[in-house]
Amino acid sequence: LRSCSPGRARRTNASRRACLVARFGDIYAQERLDAETLLRTHISDMEMVQRIIYIAAVESFHAAKMAYRQFKIRVRETLSLGHSGPESLEDTVLDYIVRHEDLYDVQASVNEVIRSMNINPKISFPPEIDFIVISTLIRELCRVAFSMQTLAPPLDIAFGTDGELFSETKYRRSFHSDFTAALVAYHVWPALMENDVVIVKGEAVTKR
């Protein structure tokens, strides 16, 4: 009898997690600022620019998680036909997804994000410009969000609402915040969560 051993995905979970958390930080430091610079050439209102980027991040995670669920269903249906072990079907499915993440149709997710942003009432854009100008940021966020779903436990971003009580454990205040204000006026970047615990702080603006 072959012994049951953890699948490749589980064995590499810690190293993949560390890489993805670092990549999320890199996107905040690089692609986010690049997107900000691009948007500022079209929009003078810094608050609107930051709202657009935050909503792009939220929508990217939503689209990637939906795509992951659909991808996983298709893989499970295919592999279940000939699965015999020794790993469980779930482990086999996860291993396959981790090895074949390049099969993720990231462009479909990017298109979905841009569609969602076009109908979001909180953000507006000059009619002659399209949110596609920040597609590099959206693509990288979708990729990292998709990969984060293959972790055990998966990583996700915190849900944020305008006017919520500012949380020191969840966010840093942006430098142009009112540091005495208790409520979030708007969010700049989402916090990264694991099992409802913050592992990377987001950024928010507080105002009275």
Could you read off the pLDDT tens digit of each residue along the chain, which spans 208 residues?
233 445 666 778 899 999 999 999 999 999 999 999 999 999 999 999 999 999 999 999 999 999 999 999 888 888 777 766 667 767 777 888 888 888 999 999 999 999 999 999 989 877 777 899 999 999 999 999 999 999 999 999 999 999 999 999 999 999 888 889 999 999 999 999 999 999 999 999 999 8
Residue 98 and residue 121 in one domain: yes
- 68-72 long-range CB contacts below 8 Å, 24 or more apart? 68/97, 68/104, 68/146, 68/149, 68/150, 71/97, 71/103, 71/104, 72/97
Q: Which H helix or E strand runs over 69?
A: helix 46-80
184 part of a folded domain: yes
CB atoms within 10 A of CB 157: 23
174 part of a folded domain: yes
pLDDT given at position 1: 28
Query: Which of 151, 169, 199 represents a domain boundary (last residue)?
Result: 151
Entry field: residues in the chain: 208
Residue 137 and residue 76 in one domain: yes
Residue 108 and residue 190 in one domain: no
Residue 129 and residue 167 in one domain: no
pLDDT given at position 113: 97
Residue 80 and residue 39 in one domain: yes
Report pTM: 0.90
1 part of a folded domain: no
Token representation of residue 52: 């657009």
2 part of a folded domain: no
49 part of a folded domain: yes
Residue 132 and residue 66 in one domain: yes
Query: Which of 151, 173, 199 represents a domain boundary (last residue)?
Result: 151
- Structure-token match 């996700």, residue found: 156
Q: 72, 97 in Cβ contact below 8 A?
A: yes
CB atoms within 10 A of CB 171: 25
Residue 72 and residue 39 in one domain: yes
Residue 103 and residue 143 in one domain: yes
Tell me how far CA of residue 85 lies from CA of 101, 162, 199, in angstroms: 22, 49, 35
182 part of a folded domain: yes
Count structural domains, the chain. 2
User: Across the beta sheet with 155-157, what order do the strands follow?
Assistant: 155-157, 192-194, 197-200
Residue 16 and residue 93 in one domain: yes
Residue 67 and residue 15 in one domain: yes
CB crowding 118-155: b at 16 or more within 10 Å, else e: eeeeebebeeeeebeebbebbbbbbbbbbbbbbbeebb
Residue 177 has phi, psi (to 5 degrees) of -75, 160
Provide the domain limits for residue 44.
7-151
93 part of a folded domain: yes
Residue 89 and residue 140 in one domain: yes
Give the dihedral sign, CA 100/200/24/105: positive
Residue 202 and residue 138 in one domain: no
